[in-house]
Homo-oligomer: A and B are copies of this chain.
Amino acid sequence: MPSAPTPQSPAPTPERRLPGGPVLQDSVTQAISAAFFEELASVGYARLSLETVAKRAGAGKAAIYRRWPSKLEMTVALISAVAVDAPETVDTGTLRGDVRAFLADLANGLSHRLPSKIIPDLLAESTRNPELAQALLAAVRDPRRAKATGLLERAVERGELPTQVDRELALDFLAGPLYWRLAVLHAPTSPDYLDRLTDKLLAAFAA
């Protein structure tokens, strides 16, 4: 098993050979990905230049276009690789444990140097760029939501939540207060805060 990818080193793409074309080297793909995330955090989507990303990666622009046909498709592919493929909703055996692990993972992601700049930028850009917004909702929001639903379904199977638990609201509660605190208010969290948040969430789910 490869270790969990981070924004600095996204999931290695398996070597691909285009029909009759060259092998796409993993090391180049990873250098481009790392350069892309640094650039995106630094200048934002609107001003991101694929030429600058290529230079930063020590590659040519063609190396990017051999992998992704456009800035939009590159962004969606690389963001979903770290935001969807990477995080696992761990099965800790209890709803409380699963919720606490989910919150720790989310707090960690939102506090990280790169996502803490990239996420707000992509949300702002999405209000001006409907094509990007749609692509990110389909490639990031929907699969992430499906994964988090798994956490609730496991609790239903264990008998910790009633079958008719309001999944829609539970998912908004799972991420909403912590996102609000970290990404909107820029207020601190602590292990104690996450413990108290876990207690409140379990009470809200059960209500």
Chain B residues within an 8 Å CB radius of A203: 203-204, 206-207
Oligomer: number of copies: 2
Which A residues lie at the B interface, using CB under 8 A? 44, 116-117, 120-121, 123-128, 133, 137, 141, 145, 166, 168-169, 172-173, 175-181, 183-186, 193, 196-197, 199-201, 203-204, 206-207
Chain B residues within an 8 Å CB radius of A121: 124, 127
Chain B residues within an 8 Å CB radius of A181: 172, 176
Most interface-central of A128, A166, A177 (chain B CB within 10 A):
A177
- Minimum CB distance partner of A127 in chain B: B117
**Given A127-B121, A180-B175, A186:B116 Cβ within 8 A:** no
Bound CA span A121–B44, Å = 11
A176 and B180 contacting across the interface, CB-CB below 8 Å: yes
Bound CA span A196–B173, Å = 12
Query: Measured between C-beta atoms, what is the minimum distance from A159 to chain B in Å?
Result: 20
- Minimum CB distance partner of A134 in chain B: B186
B128 and A117 contacting across the interface, CB-CB below 8 Å: yes
Chain B residues within an 8 Å CB radius of A124: 44, 120-121, 123-125
Most interface-central of A121, A127, A186, A199 (chain B CB within 10 A):
A127
